[in-house]
A and B are shown apart, each in its own frame.
Chain A
Amino acid sequence: MNQSARILGMVFICSMLLTTTGCWSNDEIEELNLYVGLGMDVAQESKFEKQVNEQGGHYPKKKNMTVTVQITPPSSGQKKNQNSSSPQGGKSYLNERLTGDSVVQILRQFALRRERPLIGHHLKVIVLSTELAKKYNLEQLLDYIMRDNDIRPSCLILISHGSAVEALNSSEPGEIPALYLTGLFDNRQLSNKILPAMSLAKLDGMMQSGSSFLLQNVITAEGEHKFSGAGIFKGTSKKWIGSLSQTDLEGLSWITGKVRTGALKTYKPRTGDTITYEPKVTKSKITPIVRGDQISFHVEVASRGALIEDWSSPQHTATESYQDELEGYFEDTVREQIRQVLYKMQETYHVDVAGFGEQLRIKHPRLWKKVEKNWDEAFSKANVTYDVKINITNYGSSMR
């Protein structure tokens, strides 16, 4: 090969490098609208939509629901077509709402309103309003979300007591409500009134199995949020049928043994002094007992922890007998909580959301095959006994 052909070859090869500098279909991240939160409400058209419709800007659809997307950071220079329900003073997010009957069509509809494409890779939380969840099957509502390839199955689901858009609003400047809501789940290590976070992946498995389940509930007041209680979803219809209060969740956590910590407060019978127990290690065991056709359960709860607050005066010293006395009070309280939540499950709503069915499935798989279809009803008739053992092992850093 002679010199010039060689050089020519080199030039050709180097010029090939130019073609490898970029991606085929790249988008600059600054030119995308990331949505981190998604809210679903019953249909409630915004003023903008009403005016647009008056001017002939509608398309054929049923007014089934209103979808809110929370975009962050809000792109600058969009003060004009601002129609989010809240004023935009110093907010680091933007809530956009549109109404329709197909989630994906609504999301695509944003392409007619926003110059930057919406992308779902960073969707963190989906908030469904109770109102909507009462009307529609969860599987239908979330069908697109489950199929979409951008949205990750790690995205969490909540239900809101009020409207979802309120839950996705915040009065705190600089706060992004979607991230705030997901952050609350991390506080499970501080309270046993929070359910384990329900991701799309888990929810999908749950819905497939056909068992009833709970979703964490969020309440909004004065632009601030609070996790409180949970919504019950019936396994057969996948619709919202009722709710558990936060005390019920506490009771439930004793049954499932998923207590990381918490604060179990009660009053001393005669004096009415506040005493509080902080569980450190809690174990529970659900044992299904089968006698012929009769299914019953026995729950054993054992907890170790600290006496963390005691208002009694005069102060008692940490004697064996005093400790036993307090343990008794705490055990009564836990029993009462369990009794309440069992009543709600068996009598009020006729559902099993505490994992009794799962234990039956594991221990008696053949029987389970028979009762699986009608488990919620069968569970409501089952007799449940429980045994609570609380063990105070320390008194914090004060030995008074």
Chain B
Amino acid sequence: MSRSSDQITTAQAAVIIINYMLGAGILTLPRTAVTASNSPDVWISVLLSSLLILLAGFVIVKLCRRFPGQTWFQFVPQITGKAIAFLISLITIGYLLTISAFELRVMAEVTGMFLLEGTPMWAIVMTFMWVGLYLTTGGIGSIARLFEIILPITLVIFIITFSLSSGLFEINNLRPVLGSGVIPVLLGMRSTTLAFAGFEIMLIIMAFMSSPQKGMKAVTWGTIVPTFVYLVALVMTIGGLSLGGVKVATWPSLDLIRSFEIQGLIFERFESLLLVIWIMQIFSTFTITHYAASLGWSQLFDKNIRPFLFMMLPVIFLIAVIPKNISELFMLGQIVGNVSVYLFGTLPFFLLIISKIRRKGETSN
């Protein structure tokens, strides 16, 4: 039951953004970034991308502030009129469902490959989806509280596993800095910007924030933490595996953690720890997109969210099984990332201008 009294704090909003951004990308970002730029300078690309995202987040916050207490699905009709708004909402919902399905499928692929080789995909996916459903029926408040538990665990384990890999780290793999100029950095941004897909959730969760005037703060923290995580992942993976090694690894970050064994600690191998936090991150991305998509339907038709939550489950599953193989899957990821950039990087900006011209919503004095 979606409780209208469901409110989240600023910190919770930031945590939701972080958990949404961190997803499948942690394992694949080094490869996609290096392939796009063909240089070790991609860590600069991440920094630049995060600035872009901050800018896009700023626009979104500005836009949402004009319509306090309303989500994207509720305020867009006031700006553009019903027909166009309906189309925009449908695209948004489709996008959210696709992300949800993408994360689900990547989770199933990696789990099937490295953790549960004999377990059929439906068994992995089914339990995952049902637990997700259980969470989303609790509403945004429950989701936020669970995310608050997940995030610190993620960060601690992430930092431990990656710092243990420092034995493999070779600074020469990251040199020379800007050896072939800035072009590779810009090329790398094509891939690193996609990794930040997720800031758009602010369009929906800002309506639930108890103090929406702090929206920008949530976006800022929501971008800084993933930036840090991506920086560490990129620098350590390229430093440890070298440019050539990263290019040919399907899951480079995971390969980095698999490339060393440490004797004397309780564990010798750390990839399962990394996979655990990674699956938790996928779970959070999966649930928040599932929830947001269902919320979209419920607000479009002004109905209770609960039946939509159930109805969306099979839809997500069906989308998840569409890609025939892993390269099609990665292609799907690329497409949703691109859509995210075009849809939520530019559209809110135009909507903001239109709403200013047409004097819709409140002016934030």
- A binding-site residues for B, Cβ under 8 Å: 23-25, 146, 149, 152-154, 199-202, 204-210, 358, 361-363, 365-366, 369
B304 in the interface, Cβ–Cβ < 8 Å? no
Q: How far is the CB of B105 from chain A (nearest CB, A)?
A: 17
* In the complex, chain B residues whose CB is within 8 Å of the CB of A202: 168, 241-242, 245, 259
B345 in the interface, Cβ–Cβ < 8 Å? no
The 3 A-B residue pairs whose C-beta atoms are closest, nearest first, are A208-B244, A25-B118, A205-B245
Cβ-defined contact, A153 with B255, below 8 A = yes
Return 26 A-B CB contacts under 8 Å, by A number: A23-B116, A24-B118, A24-B123, A25-B118, A25-B119, A149-B113, A153-B259, A154-B259, A200-B259, A201-B168, A201-B256, A201-B259, A202-B241, A202-B245, A205-B173, A205-B243, A205-B246, A206-B242, A208-B247, A209-B242, A209-B244, A358-B172, A365-B176, A365-B179, A365-B180, A366-B179
Cβ-defined contact, B245 with A201, below 8 A = yes
How distant is the Cα of A1 from the Cα of B118 in the complex, in angstroms?
41
* In the complex, chain A residues whose CB is within 8 Å of the CB of B118: 24-25
B260 in the interface, Cβ–Cβ < 8 Å? yes
Q: Apart from A149-B114, A204-B244, A205-B242, what 9 extra A-B contacts exist at CB < 8 Å?
A: A24-B123, A152-B269, A153-B258, A199-B259, A362-B176, A362-B179, A363-B176, A365-B180, A369-B180
Interface of A: prevailing SS: helix
Q: How far is the CB of B276 from chain A (nearest CB, A)?
A: 16
B175 in the interface, Cβ–Cβ < 8 Å? yes
B362 in the interface, Cβ–Cβ < 8 Å? no
Cβ-defined contact, B119 with A204, below 8 A = no
Residues of chain B at interface, number, CB under 8 A = 31
Tell me the chain B residues, 254-286 only, with Cβ under 8 Å from chain A. 255-256, 258-261, 269
How distant is the Cα of A366 from the Cα of B184 in the complex, in angstroms?
14
- B binding-site residues for A, Cβ under 8 Å: 113-114, 116-119, 123, 168, 172-173, 175-176, 179-180, 240-249, 255-256, 258-261, 269
Cβ-defined contact, A362 with B175, below 8 A = yes
* In the complex, chain A residues whose CB is within 8 Å of the CB of B168: 201-202
The 8 Å CB contact of A24, one of B116, B179, B248, is: B116
The 8 Å CB contact of B261, one of A154, A209, A366, is: A154
Residue of A nearest to B116 (CB): A24
Q: How far is the CB of A184 from chain B (nearest CB, A)?
A: 16
* In the complex, chain B residues whose CB is within 8 Å of the CB of A152: 258-259, 261, 269
* In the complex, chain A residues whose CB is within 8 Å of the CB of B119: 24-25
Q: How far is the CB of A87 from chain B (nearest CB, A)?
A: 32
Cβ-defined contact, B245 with A208, below 8 A = yes
How distant is the Cα of A189 from the Cα of B176 in the complex, in angstroms?
30
Interface of B: prevailing SS: helix
Cβ-defined contact, A206 with B244, below 8 A = yes
Q: How far is the CB of B173 from chain A (nearest CB, A)?
A: 8
* In the complex, chain A residues whose CB is within 8 Å of the CB of B256: 201
Cβ-defined contact, A362 with B172, below 8 A = yes
How distant is the Cα of A24 from the Cα of B116 in the complex, in angstroms?
8
How distant is the Cα of A152 from the Cα of B256 in the complex, in angstroms?
10
* In the complex, chain B residues whose CB is within 8 Å of the CB of A204: 241, 244-245, 248-249
How distant is the Cα of A153 from the Cα of B257 in the complex, in angstroms?
9
Residue of A nearest to B251 (CB): A149
How distant is the Cα of A340 from the Cα of B46 in the complex, in angstroms?
46
How distant is the Cα of A381 from the Cα of B255 in the complex, in angstroms?
38
How distant is the Cα of A373 from the Cα of B49 in the complex, in angstroms?
33
How distant is the Cα of A388 from the Cα of B140 in the complex, in angstroms?
68
Q: How far is the CB of A132 from chain B (nearest CB, A)?
A: 23
* In the complex, chain B residues whose CB is within 8 Å of the CB of A208: 242-245, 247-248
Q: How far is the CB of A236 from chain B (nearest CB, A)?
A: 14
* In the complex, chain B residues whose CB is within 8 Å of the CB of A207: 244
Cβ-defined contact, B240 with A201, below 8 A = yes
How distant is the Cα of A206 from the Cα of B242 in the complex, in angstroms?
8
How distant is the Cα of A321 from the Cα of B119 in the complex, in angstroms?
74
Cβ-defined contact, B259 with A361, below 8 A = no
Q: How far is the CB of B274 from chain A (nearest CB, A)?
A: 13
Cβ-defined contact, A154 with B248, below 8 A = no
* In the complex, chain B residues whose CB is within 8 Å of the CB of A199: 259
Residue of A nearest to B268 (CB): A154
Q: How far is the CB of B261 from chain A (nearest CB, A)?
A: 5
How distant is the Cα of A256 from the Cα of B118 in the complex, in angstroms?
46
Cβ-defined contact, B258 with A25, below 8 A = no
Cβ-defined contact, A201 with B255, below 8 A = yes
The 8 Å CB contact of B180, one of A153, A201, A366, is: A366
How distant is the Cα of A202 from the Cα of B246 in the complex, in angstroms?
10
Residue of A nearest to B120 (CB): A24
Q: How far is the CB of A97 from chain B (nearest CB, A)?
A: 27
How distant is the Cα of A152 from the Cα of B255 in the complex, in angstroms?
8
